[in-house]
Amino acid sequence: MSDYTDLLYEVSGGVATITLNRPDRLNAITAPMLDSLSKVLRDSDADREVRVIVITGAGRGFCAGLDLKDLAAGTGIGANGGGGLANVRFDLAGSPPIVLHTTDKPVICALNGPAAGYGLDMALGCDIRIASTEAKLAAVFTKRGILPESGGTWLLPRLIGWAKAAEVAFRGMTLSAGEALEMGLVNRVVEPDQLMPVTHEIAAEIAANAPLAVQATKRMMRLGLEETFEANVHHVFLQLLPLFQTEDFKEGVQSFLQKRPAQFRGR
């Protein structure tokens, strides 16, 4: 089922799978797709049935970035009737990078093929990255006369450190799946036919845990990137108090004492 432009969407077993669906263009991003991405991420985050989100691409590529053909024709992202970008008031609060960053549900990126430009930033914005051996991470921004515009300048140094991030970004490097694994940009690399089975195995393991606790953990990790240790400890304690009152906490304790798998309901 899908009410989203050039995206496929399905929910099964608490896992929402979002598939970028322009395989003929290596899933290059158009303006309507940006709107749909924001909407589907918000819908997934608000859906109590969804505990984990998976993002992947149709065909042989994950995402080739913004659609350069549309950009060159003046009909794509940034087109504004010839007024010039300097005259545009940017409101990015609802843009996919911001929505993805503030999504409390865990997001796994299943990198089925090359991720370039915007596609790379989107992959880096996910919490966990599983890569096919055919995947590549292409930080080609400086080779196109632009910069990582969708979170990459913030994410890359935090993921692999300043020096490595500087080399990747300034040189405009394209990394193989193996190189990305060695740098710590992906969690694991698998054969193409194992990408979705492994991804869904990890997603199912996360989905089996207490969803409110998982979401609170992600939220505190995200806030912790920008606050002091002391502030984070205080915030975590304030998150802990309501969790003590949940049915899931009681179930977690009882299942441990009774030596059985827990059945969490997100309440």
Fold of 7-207: 2-enoyl-CoA Hydratase; Chain A, domain 1 (3.90.226)
pLDDT (0 to 100) of residue 81: 45
pLDDT (0 to 100) of residue 148: 87
- Each domain of the chain, given as residue ranges in start order, spans 7-207, 211-257
Measured CA to CA, the distance from residue 57 to residue 22 in angstroms comes to: 8
Q: What is the CATH number of domain 211-257?
A: 1.10.12
pLDDT (0 to 100) of residue 66: 85
Give, in order, the Cα–Cα distances in Å from 52 to each of 14, 69, 70, 180: 7, 34, 33, 24
29: closest CA among 50, 47, 55, 11? 55
The token duo for 261 is 């798998």
Low-confidence ranges of the chain (pLDDT < 50): 1, 79-88
pLDDT (0 to 100) of residue 145: 87
pLDDT (0 to 100) of residue 72: 59
183: closest CA among 98, 225, 124, 126? 124
Give, in order, the Cα–Cα distances in Å from 176 to each of 71, 109, 135, 160: 27, 16, 7, 16
Report yes or no: 192 and 134 within 8 Å, Cβ to Cβ.
Answer: yes
The token duo for 214 is 């998982």
Measured CA to CA, the distance from residue 135 to residue 143 in angstroms comes to: 20
DSSP state of 89: -
172: closest CA among 156, 161, 188? 156
Query: Do the domains spanning 7-207 and 211-257 agree at the CATH topology level?
Result: no
